[in-house]
Structure 1
Amino acid sequence: MKKVIKKTGIIEDFDENKLIQSLINIGIDDETAQKIFQKVYDQIPNLIRADDLWKIIVKELKKYHLSFAMKYNLKKAIYKLGPWGFPFEKYFAKILAAYGYETIINEWIEGNCLSYETDIVAIKGDERYIIECKFHNQEGIKSDIKTVLYVFGKWIDVKEKYPYLKSWLVTNTKITDEGIKFAECKNIRITAWKHPPNESLEKLIENKFIYPVTILLSGNKFIYSKLIENNFVIIQDLFRYKPEEISKITQIDLNKIKNLIEEAKNLT
């Protein structure tokens, strides 16, 4: 049995079904997923680090179609929005805009006891949400009950002055069962990785093709930071200007910008 060393240091059995299902989840048909799995399996040693396994999978997906290699990169791409949380807040505000929300980032709201900086205020019809974005820049970490309790405490104080405001916690990782149970009990909306099943973070992204620029495989840390710094956060932002204009705004080499745009076209 081949084994995988996770980021946390835990060693797990290599899960054939998990890999095949992850390929199907990004739109690959069953037969092709089986073929790609076999090619990957034949290349890996008896013990392999998760990052090295990921590189092999992406390499094989590139041979099939670049778009699938990038989609498989989505979770890591969101981590690359870090190391701090503000780019993730900007990114989720862009996702919300695609779903018809008006948003305000980093708004101060006065509660009964204290004033709070709120990551996002989201408005759609009669709905008014204060959104807390909990960003983790390392794999293997879950948002837990402590995060939910923090969100709840802030909301309770603010709600005394603004009873119409609803609470929403957004995180780029999974959330513990305990956290979910408490949030459901207290009517706190949650958007997390794999939760809720039909409106999870990755589903919201995939349904509207609102992929972050960090999903583009020809980029690097410098390129991503310069793009996000200048409000090129999602791939659609790259089509708002001519390549020459983006290069001038971001100080990124023109040929690199053109490569990024060509990659982005595979995801729209």
Structure 2
Amino acid sequence: MHEAGKPAILITKASGEQEPFRIEKLKESLRRSGAGRDIIEQVAGDIEAWLVEGVSTRKIYARAFSLLRKKKKQVASRYKLKQAIMEMGPTGYPFERLVGKVIERQGYAVEVGQIVQGRCVSHEVDVVAVRDHHRLFVECKYGLSAEKTVNVQVPLYVRSRVNDIIDRLKESGEHSGTTFGGGVATNTRFTSDAIDYGTCSGLFMLSWDYPAGDGLKDIIDRERLYPITVLHSLTKQQKQDLLGRGIVVCRQILEDRGVLSPFRLAKNRYQALMRELDDILN
């Protein structure tokens, strides 16, 4: 918050564009991470005092995360969500599983990485989801950088593939009474053209912050579907091992603690991990 009469400080977004710094936006981000009022005010006050013209949002995020981590490790884990998803790479397969978990929470039965025959050719579909008499085919676009955007070519391509699949399913007569849909999910952002075409053509569109208030970050926060890469109590190698075995969200560890057996964690490290999981998920 700047003093009355003084111009707002401009900060630089990942795209290179500049916008006025808004303290309430930072506070809301901290609030979503589970930080209490006192911690929010302390971190926000520090950031305001430190802020300089043109500083990048990446540096602001890094400083806020560092401050949060000193105050409460579990809150910091939630705050680093965007970076944690990017740490699920370098392949996009763990992200496909994360999207599958997100869609599963909407009441769908989900399969990941399926080959589906179309009318003309077969297609590798990242996520196939079924709920009641509706079948959804989703393409996942995973980005390792916040600067990356998904342009209109992607929904154009996905619409064409989904139409080929739907044509074959309708011709077969095997799914009478079933409705079909397609979608695109990304951990980055859509261009405006991508959103316009995708929504106009009837695709389900999900990005980091789209739809507003119900984007990927909102669903993960609301449903507590935090990826295992937010955890501090496991090493990078251990997290990569779990990802390779299809363990992508923290809930899966609590549902089957046997997945930790290969690590032979010492009692104190195991207990620290259980406390961290409990704090993140509750």
- For 1:25 and 1:210, the matched residues in 2 are separated by 14
SS of residue matched to 2:119: coil
Matched letter for residue 260 of structure 1: L
Q: Aligned-pair distance for 1:68?
A: 2.4
Unpaired runs of 5+ residues, structure 2, are 1-7, 171-178
Matched letter for residue 227 of structure 2: P
SS of residue matched to 1:168: strand
Counterpart in 2 of 1:165? 180
- For 1:3 and 1:187, the matched residues in 2 are separated by 37
- For 1:182 and 1:196, the matched residues in 2 are separated by 14
1:177 aligns to 2:184 (yes or no): no
Q: Aligned-pair distance for 1:132?
A: 0.6
- For 2:133 and 2:199, the matched residues in 1 are separated by 21
Identity %: 23
SS of residue matched to 1:161: helix
Matched letter for residue 16 of structure 1: I
> Structure 1 residues 152-161 or 62-71, which shifts more?
62-71
Deviations 1:97-145 (A, max 9, x none): 2332111111111111111011111011111001111111111111110
Normalized against structure 2, the TM-score is what?
A: 0.82
- For 1:198 and 1:14, the matched residues in 2 are separated by 20
Counterpart among 224, 229, 242 of residue 244 in structure 2: 229
- For 2:169 and 2:121, the matched residues in 1 are separated by 13
- For 1:247 and 1:24, the matched residues in 2 are separated by 31
SS of residue matched to 2:147: coil
Unpaired runs of 5+ residues, structure 1, are none
Matched letter for residue 230 of structure 1: R
Matched letter for residue 275 of structure 2: E
Counterpart in 2 of 1:104? 111
- For 2:94 and 2:18, the matched residues in 1 are separated by 32
Counterpart in 2 of 1:88? 95
Larger radius of gyration: 2
Counterpart among 157, 161, 164 of residue 150 in structure 1: 157
Counterpart among 44, 60, 84 of residue 37 in structure 1: 44
Preserved contact between residue 66 and residue 266 of structure 1 (Cα < 8 Å)? no
- For 1:194 and 1:97, the matched residues in 2 are separated by 19
- For 1:258 and 1:31, the matched residues in 2 are separated by 28
SS of residue matched to 2:195: helix
Counterpart in 2 of 1:263? 276
> Structure 1 residues 256-265 or 82-91, which shifts more?
256-265
> Structure 1 residues 220-229 or 186-195, which shifts more?
220-229
Change (3 A) 1:181 1:6: closer
- For 2:123 and 2:38, the matched residues in 1 are separated by 52
Counterpart among 22, 29, 53 of residue 29 in structure 2: 22
Counterpart in 2 of 1:59? 66
SS of residue matched to 2:150: coil
SS of residue matched to 2:276: helix
Normalized against structure 1, the TM-score is what?
A: 0.86
Deviations 1:57-93 (A, max 9, x none): 1122234433321221111111111112111011111
Q: Aligned-pair distance for 1:37?
A: 0.9
- For 2:59 and 2:199, the matched residues in 1 are separated by 38
SS of residue matched to 1:123: strand
Q: Aligned-pair distance for 1:56?
A: 2.0
Counterpart in 2 of 1:138? 145
Change (3 A) 1:51 1:186: closer
- For 2:14 and 2:165, the matched residues in 1 are separated by 38
Counterpart in 1 of 2:127? 120
Matched letter for residue 273 of structure 2: L
- For 2:23 and 2:233, the matched residues in 1 are separated by 29
- For 1:194 and 1:7, the matched residues in 2 are separated by 14
> Structure 1 residues 221-230 or 140-149, which shifts more?
221-230
Q: Aligned-pair distance for 1:36?
A: 1.9
Deviations 1:162-207 (A, max 9, x none): 2442101111112122111111111111111111124311222122
